[in-house]
A = this chain, B = another copy of it.
Amino acid sequence: MLVIHTIADIRMRLRGVNGIALVPTMGNLHHGHLDLVRIARQRGQFVVVSIFVNPLQFGINEDFFKYPRTLDQDCKLLEGCGADLVFAPSESDMYPQPQQVKVALPPIANELCGTFRPGHFSGAATIVLKLFNIIQPEIAVFGKKDYQQYYLMRQMSEQLNLPVKIVGAETVRAPDGLALSSRNQYLKDEERTEAAFLYQMLTGVRQAILNGEKDLGWLQGQGLDALVSRGWRAEYVEIRSQGNLEKSRMEEKNLVILAAAWLGKTRLIDNLEVFLDGGSA
């Protein structure tokens, strides 16, 4: 497995390589990431994993500086998973000048997580577009744990006519249901135990919908209250349409429940799809 650190080197190495599947990450890899690599391996002929903690998608008071950077450990994990190449560029190579050309996204990018992280999705879309232009993959794999990001990447690919197929991967969870995330390691022991409640709340809301509850606004409020009553600082619990992430109307069959909440100093997000038409859950 090759590890490449500069744009010039990777462009040279990938010249003439077809069927590239890209897994863009910020490193500090866990089993969720490795599942993305497995999917990339199945669908592409040459698997590139990018590892770059992207300052453009962090807010001014967010955890950019403390975000865990574990390149050596990440490379060891990737060796065993069928990655062909790791691209770990420096910040000065990716942003030699202040980034002033960016991807402007649809209004939905300012809802849900976008309400609380202004500019986050534009920053994420911009680095992904840069990586696409450098690596020129045919396929890129994103985790559905970051559901809004996954949606916006599909929108970007479609609306900019990118020659890249965006593939979504199901969320990988710990035995107690907590969605795997690099940020889970910020949690103190007792917080880690409580963290599983976010998933429990989502499954409860899903069950209520499946049981026929029609008042989605009320259900959202119930989910939010449940978190707050247990000491979480909840940002949102929203039931949206899978198709466009808009507020869902009752006639819609494919919903997604999305939530973001803080446990102590750690912000966690999660989501759960609901299929009312008998599709796969």
Contact = CB atoms under 8 A, between A and B. Distances in A.
Interface in A145-178: 155-156, 159-163
A130 interface: yes
Nearest to A95: B159
A163 B126 CA distance: 15
Given A104-B103, A105-B100, A136 B163 contact: yes
Interface in A86-144: 97, 99-107, 122, 125-126, 129-130, 133-134, 136
Choose among A11, A100, A125, A126 the residue with the greatest number of B CB atoms under 10 Å from its CB.
A100
A26 interface: no
Count the copies.
2
A11 B163 CA distance: 9
**Count class of interface residues, chain A:** 20 to 34
Contacts of A11: 163
Contact of A104 (B101, B106, B136): B101
A77 interface: no
Given A104-B104, A104-B122, A122-B104, A99 B159 contact: yes
Contact of A100 (B107, B133, B162): B107
A7 interface: yes
A102 to B, nearest CB: 4
A14 to B, nearest CB: 11
A96 to B, nearest CB: 9
Contacts of A155: 100-101
A65 to B, nearest CB: 24
Contact of A101 (B99, B100, B105, B134): B105
Contacts of A125: 101
Given A11-B163, A100-B106, A126-B160, 18 more contacts: A7-B161, A97-B159, A99-B159, A100-B107, A101-B103, A101-B104, A101-B105, A101-B125, A101-B155, A101-B156, A101-B159, A102-B103, A102-B104, A103-B103, A130-B161, A133-B160, A133-B163, A134-B163
